[in-house]
Structure formats: structure tokens, C-alpha cells
Structure 1
Amino acid sequence: MAQILPPLKPIPIKDRLSVLYVEKGHLDVLDGAFVVVDKTGVRTHIPVGGVACLMLEPGTRVSHAACALAGRVGTLLVWIGEAGVRLYSAGQPGGARADRLLYQAKLALDPDLRLMVVRSMYAMRFGEAPPQRRSVEQLRGIEGARVREMYKRIATKYGVEWKARNYDTKAWDAGDLPNRCLSAATSCLYGVTEAAVLAAGYAPAVGFIHTGKPLSFV
């Protein structure tokens, strides 16, 4: 029997909606497209392949057909916490494309290119060019010192008693209130950032300023 419809091909990332959040519904496939069915039975269609990343919040169920369709059209499925503050799992990053991963690896493995990226990230974070003739390790140390000073300055501005950045991941209650608040906010930011890195087709573990950890790039 002749095929009626042409085979599905991934839509270029630049032509897609970047991210769509799905909450409290059943993600399935109907008439060859994604459909979200809520508890009342109302169906909301999502253009097949028209979204780069579907963020699946708590209360969302996903059918096998939806996972298979996402793989074919290059839509990343990411299982997240409420409002994206946690990332639990992800499908195939980058829509099965390797070009961005290879580019990221090339930049990370070449010492000169890596330093160039680190300097660009420094300038983006602090709004000024980094000092000349500094290694990655030296820039990492300078960045850490500036961030610690930033904590002090912001604490003074808002009247918060600040001693130092000090926390123990295994003893949450041992930290003071400012450190616990900062740790909670950082954890939320990590979840959102990791989802963005995966949706863009890059690897969270391949970092530039930091290396050797699962979230070095985050």
C-alpha cells in the first residue's frame, strides 16, 4: 500500500516555538499530532514538531506514542518540577542532532578556545572585560571572589545579616537562614538552566569555567 503522507522530518530549531509547558494533563497522539487531554476531556492540539521542547510539569502523563513521535520529529521531552524549578529526566537532547554537542566539545577540548569562552562568559556575567593574561583557573578564582563580595554587598543593601557562604548538603538545618534561602534559590535556578541547556542541544556536563561534574556547564 502506497504511503499517503510523506515521512516526518524535524523542523529546523530556528523555525520552532522554543518551549511549551504542559501541566496536569495526558500527552498523547491524535491524527499524527501531539494532543493534551485534561481531566474534563478537553483536547488541546500541539503542532507536530513545531515545538523545540515540551516541559512536562507534575500531573502530566505521557503515552508511548507521544514519546515515539517526539523522537521522530526532534522534540525534547523534559520532566520537571512545578514551574521548572527541578529537572528529573530528559529525552533525547537537541532533537537527535550532534552538531552542537560536537561544537561544544571542540570549544571545551581546545585550551585556547576554552579560554576564549571563559573570558566571554566572564564579560557577560560582570558587564566588563576580564583581566588580561589570566588562565582559566585564575579567572575562576577571580569570579569566586567577586561573587562572594557580591553576596556581602547585596546583604548590606537589604539589611540581611551575612557571615559567609556556608552550607552542608547533608545537614540542611545546620545552615543559617540566608544560606538556606540562597541554596534553595540556586537549586531552582539550576533546574531551569539545565532544562534550557538540554533544549538547546548541549551537554550540561561539558563545562568551561568548571569541569568534572554532571552540571559543570550549568
Structure 2
Amino acid sequence: MATVAQRRTPSPRELTRVAERISFIYLERCTIHREDNAITAEDADGTTHIPSATIGTLLLGPGTRITHQAMSVLGESGAAVAWVGEQGIRYYAGGRSLNRSAALLEAQATRWANRRTRLEVARAMYRLRFPDEDPSGSSRQELLGREGRRVKDCYRREAQRTGVTWLGRHYVPGDFSSGDAPNQAVTAAAQCMYGIAHAVIAALGCSPGLGFVHSGHELSFVLDVADLYKTEIGIPTAFEVAAEHGDDIGARTRRALRDRINTERLLDRCVQDIKGLLLTHQKTETTLESLDQVNLQSDRDKVLPAGRNYAIEATW
């Protein structure tokens, strides 16, 4: 058997695509080990084996302990790892996911750094959310006003559809229980969507902080992407759960949202939407899948291969 030092790191082409993975797995009060290319979760009820290559994001709740080798196989598999609070309500820290290309990050930074293209992306995001409207020519203030009206309409529409009493959006940061049942469900759904968006953004190598609608926060782009699916998936699922009148609405919302995400193939959509928003038509899929390709920048946007000494070359 090969030792840890002798194991070969898989290339990106050998890994399971992000769009084909389980969106997230939440574990608490267990010890997580590695066995071959799987992780094991051991608790009082026994041991569960989970193939690491099938995980999009592993959420580690209270009472979890994870070994170095478990983190190693998760890193090799390109799975994101996040340390969260009870039942995934709070996000504490995240582990680096595997990524080999900076193509999307560079495209994001380029479009973000220019005020005109930044507004173009914001308009494109609005068009993705509300395809029946044309935001061309709209200012940022107009986009915000139109978005606010559409979200309010969505709340009223879902309340009428599900028969849930809706008294408006009320959320106290840090106090999940302060809201009524539909507000708790909406909050739980939003937290899940943020985690999923963050996992996809990290897996693609984009910056969570360079947002086009939101700004000034380390997760601005995460909020942007999660909002793309708020009125289509997040809010409707939350109201459906609230209409069931059961206990533990947070957990039930997460399970319902997980099922909806799998049915809708949201991870695949999220990947394609981010690429469509950030990349120009000249960019190709192969550019994003470069295998360990490191280049050097020269003048006039010329790119040179790394790993060479250019001290005696004067032609570039």
C-alpha cells in the first residue's frame, strides 16, 4: 500500500464535477476519519462511510473532530469544508478548496474593476432573476427599487399560494427564534443558499468579496449569487415548509431545500450562471480547466511559460 507521501494528487479532470456532487452534508457530534478515498463519520450509532469525491461542501457542526488525513482527502477531492454552528445556522470558518486555474478569478476582477462592466453584470444578474423584464439602461438605484418590489411581490404571492399568514420580513441578526414560522423558514433557506453559493464560488476559484450588486463585505459575491435563486427556489420552499406547521422549522427547511436543489440541479445551474456572467465570448471551457499551468506576465499582456530563466533573453 502506498504511503501518504507516495499518493498521487488527482488532476482536475479526474475529479467529480462540482455540478454533479451532493450540495452539502452536515455532520455534528462525531469523529471524522479517512479510509482510502472516503471519509468516515463515527458516533454512538456506528460508522458511516461517505465518498469524498461526491461532496460539494462538508459542514462541520458542534462536537465534530476531524483528522489531518480526512482533511487531506477532502482537499484532494476538491470538497469545500466549513465550520458552522448548531444545525448550520452560523458560519465560523472555511477551508480552502482545490482549484488550479485563475481564469474565472481574473475575469471577475477585470469586470469588477471597471464601473461600466460592473453595472453590466448587475443588470445581467437582474435579467437572470426576472427574465420577463429588461433592465437595459437602468441605474443601480432603479435596479434596487425594481428588485425590492419583485421580492415583496414574491412574499405576497407565496403566502397566498400556501395559505401562510405573512406579516412582513422580520429578522434579528443572531436571534433566529425571534421571528415567526415563515420568517424562520426564510432565514434558514437564505443561510443554506449562501452556503451553497459560497461552495460553488470557492470551487471555481472566484473571490467571494468582489460583488456586483452587494459591496463592502467579504461575502459580497456570495450574496449576489445566492440572490439569483431567492424568488425561484429559496422563498417558495420556505413558505411550503412553514405551511406544514411542524416543529424544528430550520431543519425541515434545510432538508426540503436540499431535495429541491437536487431536483433542480442547482449546482450545475450555478456554475453555468457564474461563467456566463463573468466570461466573455472569447473565453473557452478549456481555459478554465488548465492543469497546473503557471505563467509569467510580461509587457503588452504577453504571457510567458513559467519555470524558465529569462535573464539572458531580450526578445520579450
Normalised by the size of structure 2, how large is the TM-score? 0.53
**Offset of 1:38 from its aligned partner?**
3.1
> How far apart, in 1, do the equivalents of 2:176 and 2:84 lie?
23
Identify, as 1 or 2, the structure richer in helix: 2
Partner of 1:104 in structure 2? 108
- The answer on whether the counterparts of 2:80 and 2:199 sit within 8 Å (CA) in structure 1 is no
What stretches of structure 2 of length at least 5 have no aligned partner? 224-316
Cα distance in 1, alignment partners of residues 186 and 77 from structure 2: 39
Match of 1:186 among 164, 187, 190: 190
SS of 1:95's equivalent in the other structure is coil
- Tell me what 2:290 maps to: none
Match of 1:8 in 2: 9
Distance 1:165-1:72 versus aligned 2 partners, 3 A rule: closer
Q: Structure 1 residues 13 and 189 mapped into 2: Cα distance closer, same or farther (>3 Å)?
A: farther
| Structure 1 residue 143, shift from structure 2 partner | 0.9
Higher mean C-alpha displacement, 74-83 vs 188-197: 74-83
Partner of residue 147, structure 1: 151
1:126 aligns with 2:138: no
Conserved in 1, the CA contact under 8 Å of 2:201 and 2:207? yes
SS where residue 12 of structure 1 aligns? helix
Higher strand share: 1
Secondary structure of residue in 2 paired with 1:38: strand
Superposed displacement of residue 114, structure 1: 2.1
Q: How many residues were matched structurally?
A: 213
- The one of 42, 46, 53 aligned to 2:56: 53
Give, in angstroms, the shift of residue 41 of structure 1: 6.3
Cα separation, 1, equivalents of 2:175 and 2:47: 45
Q: Distance in 1 between matches of 2:56 and 2:165?
A: 41
Cα pair distance change 1:175/1:107, threshold 3 Å: same
Instruction: For residue 63 of structure 1, report the CA deviation from its aligned partner.
Output: 0.6
Gaps of 5+ in 1: none
Query: d(CA) in 1 for partners of 2:50 and 2:152?
Result: 47
Q: Give distance in 2, aligned partners of 1:29 and 1:180.
A: 36
Alignment partners' CA distance in 2, 1:42 and 1:182: 33
Letter of the structure 1 residue corresponding to residue 58 of structure 2? M
Partner of 2:212: 208
Structure 1 residues 5-45: Cα deviation after superposition (integer angstroms, max 9, x where no partner): 574243238743534636465433345x3431534765737
Letter of the structure 2 residue corresponding to residue 186 of structure 1: A
Secondary structure of residue in 2 paired with 1:29? strand
Contact 1:71–1:95 (Cα < 8 Å) also in 2: no
Residues 93 and 202 in structure 1, CA contact (< 8 A), matched pair in contact too: no
Deviation at 1:109, TM superposition (A): 1.7
Q: Which amino acid aligns with 2:68?
A: H
Q: Provide the C-alpha distance between the structure 2 equivalents of 1:170 and 1:35, rounded to a whole number of angstroms.
A: 32
The answer for the alignment partner of 1:29 in structure 2 is 34
TM-score when scaled to structure 1?
0.71
Q: Deviations over 1:89-130 (max 9, x none)?
A: 221135364333222222222223222322221122112242
Maintained 8 Å contact 2:78/2:98: yes
With 167-176 and 118-127 compared, the bigger mean Cα shift is at 167-176
Q: CA deviation at 1:147?
A: 1.4
Displacement of 1:167 in angstroms is 4.0
| Contact 2:80–2:95 (Cα < 8 Å) also in 1 | yes
Hey, what's the Cα distance between the residues in 2 that align with 1:201 and 1:176?
A: 37
Conservation of the 8 A alpha-carbon contact between 1:80 and 1:86: yes
1:117 aligns with 2:121: yes
Give the secondary-structure state (helix, strand or coil) at the position aligned to 1:90: strand
